[in-house]
């Protein structure tokens, strides 16, 4: 009786997040290669969306679920977004006069001085499409889901007007995997059509894995 109860109790506890034990490893994907041009390189909701998987295995190569894993990107123009936070949407019916980042700011930021035009400082979801993101590579639109899109980052320089994390603290699923998206909005321009690689780092404490985002034009 006691043994059964103890077993059930311990099984119940496995739903908690655990630290990866000594001997476990991070498996990262191959480097991601994409083509890129200056036309995508503003903070403008246009760029590329890349799915990625990282996996944690134990010292016998078995996938480990519920393990804490921290993932970060080395450049502020490449964000990490959880899979559940973005969804595919149809072609957005944005007003015809929305053609630039400045236009988006007019519609999708708070009108602080009351002149009827957004002032570019505080992002707000005045319209559903304010949270849409265009993948130029696949010609596909994504939407940030609900509460995620309401999280915005406010900066002095006119603002990142959507939530743009370059770091997530996540847990592996029942396949020992964390699946997320990289949103590639801007890359570090090195001139003559070249852009600096971005390194994505996945850490479980006892091991660290990396993979790179590389522009091949």
If the CB atoms of residues 120 and 209 are measured against Ca ion, the closer one turns out to be 120
Nearest approach in angstroms of CB 57 to Ca ion is 35
Q: Which has the closest alpha carbon to 135: 30, 35, 29?
A: 35
Nearest approach in angstroms of CB 114 to Ca ion is 7
**What 3-state DSSP class applies to 149?**
helix
If the CB atoms of residues 42 and 70 are measured against Ca ion, the closer one turns out to be 42
What is the distance between the alpha carbons of residues 80 and 165, in angstroms, rounded to a whole number? Answer: 6
Nearest approach in angstroms of CB 174 to Ca ion is 35
If the CB atoms of residues 40 and 123 are measured against Ca ion, the closer one turns out to be 40
Which ranges of the chain does DSSP label H, i.e. alpha helix? 2-13, 101-108, 146-150
Binding-site ranges for Ca ion (CB under 5 A): 40, 44, 46-47, 111, 113, 115, 117, 119, 185
With a CB cutoff of 8 Å and minimum separation 6, the contacts of 9 are none
What is the distance between the alpha carbons of residues 40 and 177, in angstroms, rounded to a whole number? Answer: 30
**What 3-state DSSP class applies to 209?**
strand
If the CB atoms of residues 48 and 200 are measured against Ca ion, the closer one turns out to be 48
The two three-digit tokens of residue 85, written as one number: 């936070």
Nearest approach in angstroms of CB 46 to Ca ion is 5
If the CB atoms of residues 7 and 110 are measured against Ca ion, the closer one turns out to be 110
With a CB cutoff of 8 Å and minimum separation 6, the contacts of 209 are 25, 26, 27, 28, 54, 201, 202, 203
Nearest approach in angstroms of CB 18 to Ca ion is 38
């Amino acid at each position: 009786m006691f043994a059964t109860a103890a077993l059930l109790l311990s099984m119940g506890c496995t739903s908690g997040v655990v630290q990866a034990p000594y001997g476990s490893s991070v498996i990262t994907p191959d480097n991601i290669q994409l083509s890129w041009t200056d036309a995508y390189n503003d903070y403008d909701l246009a760029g590329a969306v890349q799915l990625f998987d990282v996996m944690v295995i134990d010292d016998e190569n078995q996938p480990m679920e519920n393990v804490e894993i921290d993932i970060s990107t080395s450049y502020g123009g490449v964000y990490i977004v959880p899979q559940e936070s973005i969804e595919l949407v149809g072609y957005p019916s944005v007003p015809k006069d929305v053609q630039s980042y400045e236009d988006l700011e007019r519609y999708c930021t708070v009108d602080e001085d009351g002149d009827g035009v957004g002032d570019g400082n505080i992002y707000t979801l005045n319209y559903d499409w304010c949270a849409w993101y265009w993948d130029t590579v696949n010609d596909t639109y994504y939407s940030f889901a609900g509460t995620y899109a309401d999280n915005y980052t406010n900066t002095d320089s006119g603002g990142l007007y959507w939530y743009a994390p370059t770091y997530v603290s996540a847990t592996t699923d029942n396949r020992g995997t964390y699946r997320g998206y990289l949103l590639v909005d801007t890359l570090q321009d090195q001139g003559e059509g070249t852009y600096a690689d971005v390194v994505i780092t996945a850490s479980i404490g006892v091991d660290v894995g990396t993979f790179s985002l590389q522009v091949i034009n």
